[in-house]
Amino acid sequence: MHYKHFDLRACAERSLNYLTTMVDPANDNLPYWLILPNKKPAEAAHCRVDDAELVASWYEGLDATMKILGDGRGADVLASFRRYVLSDWGPKGLRYHRKFPWTHTMHSSFHEMGYVLSALNRMVRNDPADKEADKRAAGLVRGMRSLVIERKVRTFWSGDSEEPAPIYEFPNDVYLLEGGFDLTRHTGRGEQCIRNGVMLEALVDRYFVAKDDVALDLAVGLANGVLGPARYFNYKKEFMGHVHSAVWFATGLAKLARATGDKDYLAAAKGVYDYARSLSSSFGWVPEYAQWHPMEEEHCETCCIKDMICCAWQLIQSGLPQYWNDINLFARNQLVENQVDSATYVVCDNSKPDTPDGSITYHDIDKRMIGGFTGGSLPNSISLSKFRSIAGCCGGTAPQSMQIVWENAVTKEKGAWVVNVPMDRETAAWKLVSGYPEKGCMALTLKRGGTAAFRRYAWMGKAIHGFVDGKEVKLEEKNGLLVFPKLKPGQTAELRHAIRTVVKPEKAAGVVYKVAWRGPDVIDVLPHGEHLRLFQRDLEKKPYLPKPSDVTSVTASNFGPTQQKK
């Protein structure tokens, strides 16, 4: 059989298409958040968020995509996004909306400032001499710090006591350009503490990038507020609400633990991640909300997969390598499946002019939507009829997690080159080739010699063999790694193991699916979904799964033994 191969570079090519064409040249490449491929004709529409979080997240997404591809394409659009991020600043150092026909109340959202500060951090990290971005980041941090409420004293029935650590919170989730805090207005999304709290990761990153002590102080105070008096998480770090915000906050907690040395922040980050992971599938379907709807009504926003990958990476950097398996399985399965790679079903009318105010475009939507990511998939499909079948926010966030996988597929650890994610990639120092899902093998060539090691995963089985330039060698297993004898320059270390199709029942989104695996890759899911079926990875389309009638909305324990076929 012939199966679809995990090709992260091809995903980046598609992202480049989306991020550079789903924009409005008449408005300096302003992105279109809202894509409606199910309409006849299909259309893309501007909305308020386009010049707020979207220009910031698309700046990061396009920069990440360009780093994967490495050839400079997209630089002109990246410059447009940068201009937007660095414009429209106002009172308290905050960034506000620009006046467009589709905007109304001019305000700054603290949730969106998390995206903006993150983009500014990337600008400064890319170019430490970028004084304009650094100035805006410093001003934003200090402006937000001036707006928080400081909880200094606890007044209770037992008396008064001083709070031993900083506790900060914002009085509201929006700040008006004219009027500041108006408590009669709010976003209406609820969960104000965690929605505002997404900026935690960017605040800690600002500290790492610029040694900004004000950013670290604000991060500590906000983290303590959410973990303490807000009572958003229970003692096990379970929560009810927005998974994207909660896991992004947890990513910040893991970073904060490294910045402060406080292990309680790391324990909290791990607890939040593990809870979100318990609601997710093994192949990366992550619900948008926890305990807010019945699970069978949930869908997967790709932003949530991005957060899980980013948080897992931070946990790994904090000394928890067990999360590599999640990064590997989430990235190569649901993350890439949530990207649009075909639009043959889309009805376009290129003769229809854009609306007079520029708010809606109809031109080449089928071509421009390739590379976008869904804001609401099921484990087996993307429904075009649902709102956010393609979501502007996900198009900017998903490539950021792709960059993490790309840059860390192979890492240098204690003098050894370690393969973490089986894929195809080549650098000046090494070349990695993967045989999955057709063959259970991967090979690492060290151009300058050295020690090669492969992270061991349960899906490899027990019988694993190592070869150097085709000759079998003895492997040493150490700290979860399979270590090869030292290689001479140009030698290749190859790991081989048996692989076969294994069909397992798994409950996701309230339904038990039959999931077909080959090694780390899902190659099919039953029942097949509509409208856009996912996991069509058997390119020869030979049936091997049970009938759809075998799949029901019951618990996995009702199924018999796992079904396996060679």
pLDDT tens-digit profile of 14-37? Answer: 999 999 999 999 999 999 999 999
> What pLDDT is attached to residue 182?
94
The DSSP-derived string for 120-160 is HHHHHHH-TT-HHHHHHHHHHHHHHHHHSEE--EEEETTEE
Is 318 buried (19+), middle (13-18) or exposed (0-12) by CB count in 10 A? middle
Domains belonging to the chain, first-starting first, are: 410-497 (2.60.40.1180), 502-565 (no CATH)
> What pLDDT is attached to residue 345?
86
> What pLDDT is attached to residue 383?
80
Pairing outcome for strands 451-455 and 416-419: parallel
> Is there a contact between 280 and 311 (Cβ–Cβ < 8 Å)?
no
Rounded-to-integer distance, Cα 140 and Cα 89, Å = 9
> What pLDDT is attached to residue 541?
63
* CA-based nearest residue to 282, from 313, 239, 325, 340: 325
pLDDT tens-digit profile of 509-520? Answer: 999 999 999 999
Count CB neighbours of 263 within 10 A. 10
pLDDT below 50 — which residues of the chain?
A: 543-566
Rounded-to-integer distance, Cα 101 and Cα 98, Å = 10
Supply the pTM of this predicted model. Answer: 0.94
> What pLDDT is attached to residue 190?
87
Helix and strand numbers, DSSP H then E, in the chain: 15, 30
> What pLDDT is attached to residue 387?
62
